[in-house]
Amino acid sequence: MKISPRRRARVAAAFARLRQLYPDARCELLHEGPFQLLVATVLSAQTTDRMVNQVTPALFHRFPDAESLARAAPEEVEPLLARLGFFRVKAKNIVALARQLVEHHQGKVPADFKALVALPGVGRKTANVVLGVCFGVPEGVVVDTHVQRLSQRLGWTRETTPDKIERELTALFPPEERDLVSHVLIFHGRRVCSAQRPVCDRCGVRDLCPSAGRAEHIGRKKKRA
DNA sequence: ATCCCGAGGG
DNA sequence: CCCTCTGGAT
């Protein structure tokens, strides 16, 4: 993928500003070790990580590792997830996930992208989170709903699907920056550049954003009754 | 009514 | 490409 020096510089300028604005940007899912982060990230689909952090302490107290969770039945895990969206699918997925870890990976989380996405309930986004947070360098930039929305609003991409956006962002940033890119975009997305009511008046990259003041017209389809 | 650190299946 | 799984927050 060829990227013009001008475009690369424009993106780098906004990223540098975001790093200054959010020096503490990091993963906020509570976890101890790769297994717990993998499970927490699977649970985080279409749910705020605040909700995930409300259920994982009890979950990990009872099932702290792959071996213990692999021995559980999905029905005994379900009540522990009951306040999350998709809790039935997620209970089934994390038990199957734990069983595969025990069967094929000695109960450990593989530090390998292809092995990760082969696990039940684990897609590109989850695999990149685990690789980035626990093993230093993700395969590609984590593209969740925030990263998708902000990279579109900031004019970093014109693509509309997570896979294509991931490819573009990964080409825009060197490996050692990719984990931080997703985290600063997520922080900014939660605090300022929200989906429904972005607060451009309080945005630290307003002068670098082509959508400033009209961000509601980018992103997902407008309401318009 | 729309969104939240999505993934699997048709 | 589409649909489904699911509950809480705004």
CA A25 to C1' C4 (Å) is 33
Distance measured from the CA of protein residue A53 to the C1' of nucleotide B8, in angstroms: 24
Residue A212 (CA) to nucleotide B5 (C1'), in angstroms, measures: 23
Active-site residues of A, by number, are 125, 144
pLDDT of residue A217: 53
Residue that wins the pLDDT comparison between A213 and A168: A168
Average pLDDT over residues A9-19: 97
Tell me the average pLDDT of chain A: 92
A131-143 average pLDDT score = 91
pTM value? 0.92
Nucleotides of C under 7 A from a protein CB: 1, 5-9
Give A215's pLDDT tier (boundaries 50, 70, 90): low
Q: What is the largest CA-CA distance in chain A?
A: 55
The CA angle A73-A75-A81, to the nearest 5 degrees, is 110
Buried b (16+ CB within 10 A) or exposed e, A98-131: bbbbbeeeebebbeebeebeebebbebbbbbbbb
Which residue ranges form the domains of chain A, and what is each CATH number? Answer: 5-25+141-214 (1.10.1670.10), 33-135 (1.10.340.30)
Q: Which of residues 30-89 of A touch strand B (CB under 7 A)?
A: 41-42, 44-50, 85-86, 89
Nucleotide nearest to A128 (CA to C1'): B5
Question: A103 falls in which pLDDT band (50, 70, 90)?
Answer: very high
* A20-37 confidence digits (pLDDT tens): 999 999 999 999 999 999
Q: Which pLDDT score is estimated for A3? A: 87
The beta-carbon contacts of A15-21 under 8 Å, at least 24 apart in sequence, are A15/A173, A15/A177, A15/A181, A15/A184, A17/A204, A17/A205, A17/A208, A18/A184, A18/A185, A18/A188, A18/A204, A18/A205, A19/A180, A19/A184, A20/A204, A21/A184, A21/A188, A21/A204, A21/A205
Which residue's alpha carbon is at the shortest distance from the C1' of B5?
Answer: A144
Query: In Å, how far are A15, A35, A53 from A43, measured between CA atoms?
Result: 28, 12, 10
Strand C-contacting residues in A 60-89, CB cut-off 7 angstroms: 82-89
Residue A144 φ/ψ region, left for φ over 0, alpha for ψ in the -120 to 50 degree band, beta for the rest: beta
What's the rounded mean pLDDT across residues A94-119?
95
pLDDT tens digits, A56-90: 999 999 999 999 999 999 999 999 999 999 999 99
Find and give the residue nearest to C1, measured CA to C1': A161
The amino acid occupying position A46 is Q
CA distance A119 to A127: 9
Query: Of all protein residues, which has its CA closest to the C1' atom of C5?
Result: A86
Q: What percent of chain A has pLDDT over 70?
A: 95
